[in-house]
C-alpha cells in the first residue's frame, strides 16, 4: 500500500506512541491477557490510521470541459446558491462529504490556473451541516479554466478533522491528476460551478475522487 506524504509525520508519531505504551504495559502489568489485548488494540488503531492515509493509484483522463469529483465520498448538496466570498453571484453548489473511512486526498476537479487561494480559521462543526461551508476552518481555491470560466473549490474541516493541507499556490497550474490537498479525519469539499453546468451526478450518489464525473462546463461561446 502506498501512503500519502501528509501522513508520514503522524504515522511515525503514532507508531512511537504505541510502542512506548506497550513497553510500559509489558513491565507494569502482570496479566498476559491485558498485554495481548493492548497489543491487539494498538495494532488495529494503527492499521486504521495507515488505511486512512492510503494513496490509491488511479488512471485519470484529462478533459478541459469535464469536472471530476475532487474527493471520495457522498454527494450531500446539489443546489443553486449565492457565493459571496469570491464570485458574488449565483452558482451551482455541489458538496461531497467524506467520512473517516474514505480516502482523504483532494484532487483538482478541473484543469486551469489557480487565481485565488485563501485560508480561513473557523469552527469545527460537523462537516455535513450547511453552515460548515462558511463557518468552519476552510480554504478557498479558485481555478480559471482554459475556456475562461472559473470554478471555486472549498476544503472544509469537520468536527474531527483539525488540519487542512493544500497544494494550491496562486499562479500555479491546476491539473486533474494533481493533488489539491488533503484533509485529515473527516471533512467536506464544496464546488461552486457556473449555473449552466451540465450536472451529471445525483444527491446521495457516492463519488470516487478524480474518477466520477460531476458535470460538464459549457463552452464559453455557447453561453
187 catalytic residue (yes or no)? yes
Residues of the chain with pLDDT under 50: 223
Q: Are residues 125 and 25 in the same domain?
A: no
pLDDT value of position 125: 60
pLDDT at 35: 85
61 is a domain residue? no
Residue 99 lies in a domain: yes
10, 104 in Cβ contact below 8 A?
Answer: no
Predicted confidence at residue 51, as pLDDT, reads: 77
- Tell me, yes or no, whether 79 and 160 share the same domain: yes
d(CA 199, CA 167): 26
Instruction: Provide the domain limits for residue 13.
Output: 5-52
Q: Do 205 and 118 share a domain, yes or no?
A: yes
Please indicate, yes or no, whether residues 75 and 41 belong to a single structural domain of this protein.
no
Residue 156 within any structural domain of the chain: yes
> Is 194 within 8 Å of 91 (Cβ atoms)?
yes
Query: Alpha-carbon torsion 56, 187, 49, 12, what sign?
Result: positive
Q: Which tens digits make up the pLDDT trace of 142-155?
A: 999 999 999 999 99
Candidates 42, 132, 133, 187; catalytic one: 187
| Nearest-angstrom CA–CA distance, 111 and 120 | 24
Q: Euclidean distance between the first and final Cα of the chain, in Å?
A: 45
What grid cell was written down for 8? 508520514
| 114 and 169 fall within a common domain | yes
In a domain, 57, yes or no: no
73 and 171 co-located in one domain: yes
In a domain, 58, yes or no: no
In this prediction, residue 194 carries a pLDDT of 97
Q: What is the DSSP letter of 109?
A: S
Q: Which of 121, 114, 159 minimizes the C-alpha distance to 139?
A: 121
**Model pTM?**
0.81
Q: What is the CATH number of the domain that holds 85?
A: 2.70.70
Which one-letter DSSP state was computed for residue 172? P
Amino acid at each position: 500500500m502506498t501512503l500519502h506524504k501528509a501522513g508520514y509525520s503522524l504515522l511515525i508519531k503514532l507508531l512511537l506512541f504505541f510502542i512506548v505504551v506497550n513497553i510500559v504495559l509489558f513491565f507494569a502489568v502482570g496479566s498476559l491477557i491485558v498485554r495481548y489485548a493492548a497489543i491487539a488494540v494498538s495494532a488495529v488503531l494503527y492499521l486504521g490510521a495507515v488505511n486512512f492515509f492510503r494513496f490509491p493509484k488511479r488512471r485519470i483522463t484529462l478533459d478541459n470541459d469535464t469536472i471530476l469529483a475532487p474527493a471520495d465520498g457522498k454527494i450531500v448538496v446539489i443546489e443553486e446558491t449565492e457565493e459571496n466570498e469570491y464570485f458574488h453571484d449565483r452558482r451551482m453548489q455541489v458538496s461531497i462529504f467524506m467520512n473517516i473511512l474514505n480516502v482523504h486526498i483532494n484532487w483538482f476537479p478541473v484543469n486551469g490556473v489557480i487565481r485565488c487561494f485563501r485560508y480561513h480559521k473557523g469552527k469545527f462543526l460537523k462537516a455535513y451541516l450547511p453552515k460548515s461551508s462558511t463557518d468552519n476552518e476552510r480554504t478557498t481555491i479558485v481555478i480559471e479554466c482554459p475556456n475562461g470560466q472559473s470554478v471555486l473549490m472549498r476544503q472544509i474541516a469537520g468536527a474531527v478533522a483539525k488540519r487542512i493541507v493544500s497544494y494550491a499556490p496562486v499562479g500555479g497550474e491546476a491539473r486533474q491528476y494533481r493533488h489539491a490537498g488533503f484533509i485529515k479525519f473527516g471533512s467536506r469539499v464544496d464546488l461552486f460551478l457556473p449555473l449552466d453546468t451540465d450536472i451529471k451526478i445525483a444527491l446521495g450518489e457516492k463519488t470516487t475522487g478524480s474518477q466520477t464525473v460531476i458535470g460538464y462546463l459549457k463552452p464559453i461561446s455557447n453561453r
